[in-house]
Amino acid sequence: MEKFRSAADLVRLQKPEQPVLGFRPHAAERATRWFLQNFPGKCLYAVKANDAPHLLEVLYQSGIRDFDVASLSEIERLSALPDFRAHVMHPIKSRAFIRRAYFEYGVRTFALDCEAELDKIMSETENATDLTLMVRMVCSNQFSEIPLEDKFGVPWLEAAGLLRSTRQAAERLGLTFHVGSQAMSPEAFRHALQTVSQHIVHAGVVADVIDVGGGFPSVYPGLEPPELSAYMDEIREAFDQIAVGWHCELWAEPGRALVAEAESVIVRVDGRKGDTLYINDGAFGTLYDAAHLQFVFPARRIGPERQSRPQNLAPFELYGPTCDDVDHMKGPFYLPADMAEGDYIEIGNIGAYGRVMAAPFNGFGSYREAILDDEPMLTAYGLPDAAAGLFAGR
């Protein structure tokens, strides 16, 4: 990939026809190192958030060795990394996937949320005795922007029996949950860990692993969560109150929090109607969350022509390049009031679930890629003093 000082430099030099994914490896490295230094346990990167090979390499070089996967394709993407450890945290899997993951790729961790899945895992691993089996528990998603509580999780009345059955089959028993994506309060993890504690006591089992899952937030306009250190404090204190003994490991599966800041998309305005801009990427591309989940990503006009003039900002809606009305990002996205055809916009912090949701609908969905040396538009991890000064002046 070519490298540029900033998106503005890229536009000035190349005026790209296609949307461009701008990769900031230093942002992924900073987030990863912060998480590894501050989370009081093991971090499994959730590959579903962004599976780009160059990003996985940066995470690996920054210290990540464990990965949360849900498919053979994700495991195969990791195969270029030496000594990686894949953990299948998807509670419902095909038999062929379980068998190949265990026998071909050495996977020893599998999640489940029902007796049928436990039976399936044991059958396809030929009653292996070296398994870490993670029982997915239901927990409240009231603090999250994207609830994930309906699809998976063993209900309370069935939990004790499943925990006992799994304890008998597993070398190591774990309990896991998901508080929902973009959890906006650290209390979400405390409440979930208290529920896990009740399950352990009720079932009368010894737990070897407690996995707090994902949900760690990033920063977006209008979605400014507490500092991530507050999440670490809540998890540490709640975990210490669970009667699991010194031997129990604590895991987490960060995805969004590690990679959201690592990519942006550079788009061109192909038309304007009033306060609506028509751009060359959208809901079927990297802006899925902006269309379907109403996320408002940071946005700024880039390019040398009018960058230095005072900018009166106005709210805009965005439409993508396809012929479908669903290709609509309501925003509002605050951009200079004189936006016009031919202008370029950088839409930031799309590194989580941006590229992985893009599809070639209507013949769109292809991207150029470049490395950018400047800082992300918003960050949860702070900026070096010099970089912060440059960023504030943009």
Q: Does 393 score more than 60 pLDDT?
A: no
pLDDT score recorded for residue 114: 96
If asked whether residues 128 and 268 sit together in one domain, one would say no
Domain boundary among 197, 230, 253: 253
Report the C-alpha gap between 81 and 74 in whole angstroms: 12
Domain boundary among 253, 286, 302: 253
The number of domains in the chain is 2
Between 246 and 188, residue with greater pLDDT: 188
Q: Does 392 score more than 70 pLDDT?
A: no
Task: Give the domain CATH number at 343.
Answer: 2.40.37.10
Q: What is the pTM of this model?
A: 0.92
| Tens digits of residue pLDDT in 124-154 | 999 999 999 999 998 656 555 555 566 778 9
If asked whether residues 193 and 292 sit together in one domain, one would say no
Across residues 352-368, what is the average pLDDT? 94
Model confidence at 311, in pLDDT bands (50, 70, 90)? confident
Note whether 381 and 34 are within 8 A (CB).
Answer: yes
If asked whether residues 51 and 107 sit together in one domain, one would say yes
Task: Give the domain CATH number at 112.
Answer: 3.20.20.10
The residue range of the domain holding 175 is 40-253
Note whether 194 and 238 are within 8 A (CB).
Answer: yes
pLDDT score recorded for residue 143: 54
Model confidence at 11, in pLDDT bands (50, 70, 90)? very high
**Average pLDDT value over all residues in the chain:** 91
Between 74 and 311, residue with greater pLDDT: 74
Query: Does residue 364 lie in a domain region?
Result: yes
Domain boundary among 225, 253, 281: 253
Cα dihedral across residues 284, 53, 66, 101: positive or negative: positive
If asked whether residues 140 and 205 sit together in one domain, one would say yes
Across residues 168-175, what is the average pLDDT? 98
pLDDT score recorded for residue 246: 78
Between 123 and 244, residue with greater pLDDT: 123
Query: Does residue 33 lie in a domain region?
Result: no
342 sits in the region (left: phi over 0; alpha: psi -120 to 50; else beta) called left
If asked whether residues 220 and 84 sit together in one domain, one would say yes
Note whether 27 and 257 are within 8 A (CB).
Answer: no
| Tens digits of residue pLDDT in 72-89 | 999 999 999 999 999 999
If asked whether residues 10 and 132 sit together in one domain, one would say no
Q: Which residues pair with 369 in a beta bridge?
A: 21
